[in-house]
Amino acid sequence: MEYKENPIICNCMQVSLSDIDNALHQHEKFSSVEEEFKRVQEATHCSTGCGGCHDKVMDIISQMMNGMLH
């Protein structure tokens, strides 16, 4: 999905909102937010530097899984 604004969510690894979206949607079914976070983290390496974006990434994944963020 393309976003009008595509902010960097993880500054350490330069992971953008669309990078998270693309990594999240590599799977057909979603499991828990925690499991999806692990998958997104493996694909993008987000939240592996300072860890400061962890809660923000979790919130974004949760919103995407619930259809609240398009």
* 15 beta partners: 10
Q: Report which residue type is found at 46.
A: C
Cα distance between the two ends of the chain:
8
pLDDT at position 4, please? 75
Any domain includes 3 = no
Q: State the DSSP H helix or E strand holding residue 15, giving kind and residue range, or none if neither.
A: strand 15-16
Total domain count, the chain: 1
Any domain includes 35 = yes
pLDDT digits (tens, 9 = 90+) for 11-25: 999 999 999 999 998
pLDDT digits (tens, 9 = 90+) for 30-63: 889 999 999 999 999 999 999 999 999 999 999 9
Assign 8 to helix, strand or coil.
Answer: strand
Output the pTM of the full model: 0.88
Any domain includes 54 = yes
Domain that holds residue 60: 8-15+23-65
